[in-house]
């Protein structure tokens, strides 16, 4: 088989008599995660390709259906509530894995680590001396007038200077195969549970595909996360108690909260399970109140503490900020990280990296024009029909105008808004997201994907090998969000080849 690979054409890699699921597969003009820009897989990926090619589409579809069935029974689901019913849905799961070569992963890992390091330094600076604002690297008002800026955090020193303990970096790959950062998620990034559960499902459904292949493990995420959270526990906590704080069973990410608590082996608490006494946090147990030292909170800043933020919140715990600022409990992520993963600040992250680390960014941003700057505004107005216009300070895809897909009148409206308040917008070119072979009813076809690696930071940063691959299941779509027809794939980071 290896000898066949040297012949160099796809047909030579398989039995020409035997029909295979990839026979009609053509990713062009996009960059393919399996074939790259070539017509044959990279030498590291030939083996997997050959194994896939031996499975027929009917087998793939049958195993995919079994896997989805199993995900449903296991309750790896999110719940859609209507007035009367609660309907459980799985996140669509595609069985053809996305592969990442060892060399590619080395770059991604160091790039993500570098970025998280710079963002943590930026947050420290913003809530302390504000050098970067005074030096005019990032416009002060962009930060200080940002909706996610939290004056309550001024002068507060989080343990080890870490604000963003858990980070998700959204990456896309352009037509030449170069990775770019599309977005930082430094508040409460979700999705990591699917990384691990997708792997377990692949191990069960496709043992033949994985057998003998050296794929980096993702199963130790919980242990690693817990260890990192213990690193940032308040001083003096002898054996720190970590808990995971969830908004409760009605939250759409509830499965993930269960998963994380289970994998860390820590209690999954709700606001009503916690109480603050004398600036210390306790949980209500059958044996009375028990101290809590670190809270991995999956509740947004606004709802965290009714004493300080939204006073109507019943999800949070009154006094949590007092306890945190007194240094008696560590909140992960820290309050106020939203100024670092904001779309407006995103545009400045390459400069932020250079400013604090004196290094070039390992992973570039997607080309971004800052409309608050005159050059950026002029370019955006000139090329609006080719660009994606994004309002800053919004999330979840709200208010985005996709130039090439908008009508003339829609563009006029966008242009008017842009001119009225330029600083509220950035613009980016349409990125031709890379594709990955994906199983459809009519066989294997190219579908667009992105990648979200997860970085966990205590004393230092550890990056979970791979991350969440989201796939736009609709033909031609570049929207990978689960709410708009997106699914997920298992992401296989191959181990280094032994030399």
Partner 1 sequence: MSLLARNAEQLFWLARYVERATSLSRVIETHSSHGNGSTDEGTWAWLVALYSNAEPFAKQFADANFKNVIQFYVADTDNPASVRFSVKAARENARALRAVIPTDMWSQLNAFHHRLLAMKESDFDPVGVARTCGVIKVGCYAQLGVADSTLYRDEGERFFKLGLMLERADQTSRLLDVKFAQLAARPDAGGTIADTTFWALILRSAAAYQAFRRHEPRGADPARVAHFLLTNQSQPRSVAYCVNSIKNVLEDLRRIYGLRQARRALEMVHDLEAGVLAAATDTQLVARLHAINDWLQQRLIELTSELNEAFFALEEPKSAPSRQTQSQTQTQTQSTP
- The contacts of residue 47 (CB under 8 Å, 6+ apart) are 1, 213
- DSSP letter assigned to residue 160: G
CB of 285 to partner 1, least distance (A): 4
Of these, 287, 416, 498, 499, which contacts partner 1 (CB under 8 A)?
Answer: 287
CA distance 7 to 331: 57
Task: Enter the tokens of residue 354.
Answer: 């250079």
CB of 250 to partner 1, least distance (A): 8
Instruction: Verify binding: residue 415, partner 1, rule CB under 8 A.
Output: no
Instruction: Verify binding: residue 1, partner 1, rule CB under 8 A.
Output: no
Instruction: Verify binding: residue 72, partner 1, rule CB under 8 A.
Output: yes
Of these, 36, 92, 248, 364, which contacts partner 1 (CB under 8 A)?
Answer: 248
Question: What stretch of H or E contains 231?
Answer: helix 221-231
Q: Is the Cβ–Cβ distance between 491 and 248 less than 8 Å? A: no
Instruction: Verify binding: residue 283, partner 1, rule CB under 8 A.
Output: yes
Residue with Cβ nearer partner 1 (316 or 338): 316
Of these, 2, 286, 416, 498, which contacts partner 1 (CB under 8 A)?
Answer: 286
Of these, 62, 145, 272, 419, which contacts partner 1 (CB under 8 A)?
Answer: 272
Place of tokens 């990192």: 228
Q: Which stretch binds partner 1 (CB under 8 A): 125-133, 210-218, 259-267, 464-472?
A: 259-267
Q: Which stretch binds partner 1 (CB under 8 A): 70-78, 212-220, 373-381, 442-450?
A: 70-78
CA distance 388 to 380: 9
CB of 287 to partner 1, least distance (A): 5
Instruction: Verify binding: residue 200, partner 1, rule CB under 8 A.
Output: no
CA quadruple 468, 364, 225, 185: dihedral sign: negative
Interface size with partner 1, residues (CB under 8 A): 28
CA distance 3 to 263: 43
Q: What is the DSSP string of 100-120?
A: E-HHHHHHHHHHHHHHHHHHH
Instruction: Verify binding: residue 268, partner 1, rule CB under 8 A.
Output: yes
Of these, 7, 12, 74, 103, which contacts partner 1 (CB under 8 A)?
Answer: 74
- DSSP letter assigned to residue 366: P
Helix, strand, coil shares of the chain, percent, nearest 5, are: 35, 25, 40
Cα angle: 163, vertex 165, 169; to 5 degrees = 105
Instruction: Verify binding: residue 262, partner 1, rule CB under 8 A.
Output: yes
CB of 246 to partner 1, least distance (A): 9
CB of 89 to partner 1, least distance (A): 12
Place of tokens 């759409």: 252
Instruction: Verify cis geometry, omega within 30 degrees of 0, for the bond prior to 267.
Output: no
Instruction: Verify binding: residue 73, partner 1, rule CB under 8 A.
Output: yes
Residue with Cβ nearer partner 1 (107 or 314): 314
Q: Which residues bind partner 1 (CB under 8 A)?
A: 72-75, 88, 241, 244, 248-250, 254, 258, 261-262, 267-270, 272-273, 283-287, 290, 314-315
């Amino acid at each position: 088989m290896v000898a066949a690979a040297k012949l160099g054409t796809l047909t030579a890699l398989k039995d020409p008599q035997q029909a295979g699921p990839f026979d009609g597969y053509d990713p062009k003009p996009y960059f393919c995660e399996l074939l790259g820009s070539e017509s044959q897989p990279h030498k590291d990926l030939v083996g997997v390709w050959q194994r896939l090619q031996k499975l027929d589409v009917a087998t793939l579809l049958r195993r995919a259906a079994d896997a989805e069935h199993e995900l449903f029974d296991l309750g790896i689901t999110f719940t859609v509530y209507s007035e009367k019913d609660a309907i459980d849905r799985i996140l669509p799961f595609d069985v053809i894995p996305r592969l990442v070569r060892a060399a590619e992963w080395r770059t991604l890992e160091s790039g993500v680590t570098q970025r998280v390091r710079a963002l943590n330094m930026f947050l420290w600076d913003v809530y302390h001396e504000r050098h970067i604002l005074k030096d005019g690297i990032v416009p002060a008002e962009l930060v200080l007038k940002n909706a996610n800026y939290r004056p309550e955090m001024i002068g507060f020193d989080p343990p080890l200077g870490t604000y963003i303990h858990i980070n998700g970096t959204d990456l896309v790959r352009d037509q030449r195969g170069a990775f770019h950062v599309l977005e930082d998620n430094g508040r409460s990034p979700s999705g990591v549970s699917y990384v691990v559960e997708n792997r377990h499902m692949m191990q069960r459904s496709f043992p033949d595909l994985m057998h003998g292949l050296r794929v980096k493990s993702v199963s130790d995420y919980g242990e690693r996360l817990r260890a990192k959270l213990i690193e940032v526990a308040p001083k003096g906590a002898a054996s720190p108690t970590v808990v995971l704080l969830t908004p409760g069973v009605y939250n759409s990410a509830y499965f993930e909260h269960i998963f994380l608590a289970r994998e860390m082996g820590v209690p999954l608490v709700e606001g009503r399970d916690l109480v603050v006494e004398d600036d210390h946090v306790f949980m209500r147990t059958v044996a009375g109140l028990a101290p809590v030292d670190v809270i991995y909170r999956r509740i947004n800043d606004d709802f965290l503490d009714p004493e300080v933020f939204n006073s109507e919140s019943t999800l949070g715990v009154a006094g949590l900020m007092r306890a945190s600022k007194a240094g008696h409990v560590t909140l992960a992520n820290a309050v106020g990280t939203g100024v670092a993963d904001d779309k407006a600040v995103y545009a400045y992250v390459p400069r932020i990296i250079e400013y604090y680390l004196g290094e070039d960014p390992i992973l570039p941003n997607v080309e971004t024009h800052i409309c608050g700057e005159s050059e950026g505004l002029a370019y955006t107005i000139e090329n609006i029909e080719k660009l994606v216009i994004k309002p800053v300070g919004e999330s979840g895809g709200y208010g985005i105008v996709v130039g090439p897909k908008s009508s003339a009148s829609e563009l006029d409206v966008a242009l008017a808004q842009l001119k009225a308040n330029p600083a509220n917008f950035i613009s980016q070119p349409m990125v031709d997201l890379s594709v990955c072979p994906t199983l459809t009813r009519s066989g294997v076809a190219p579908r667009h994907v992105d990648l979200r690696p997860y970085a966990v930071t205590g004393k230092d940063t550890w990056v979970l090998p791979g991350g969440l691959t989201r796939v736009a299941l609709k033909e031609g779509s570049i929207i990978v969000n689960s709410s708009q027809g997106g699914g997920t794939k298992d992401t296989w980071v191959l181990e280094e080849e032994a030399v």
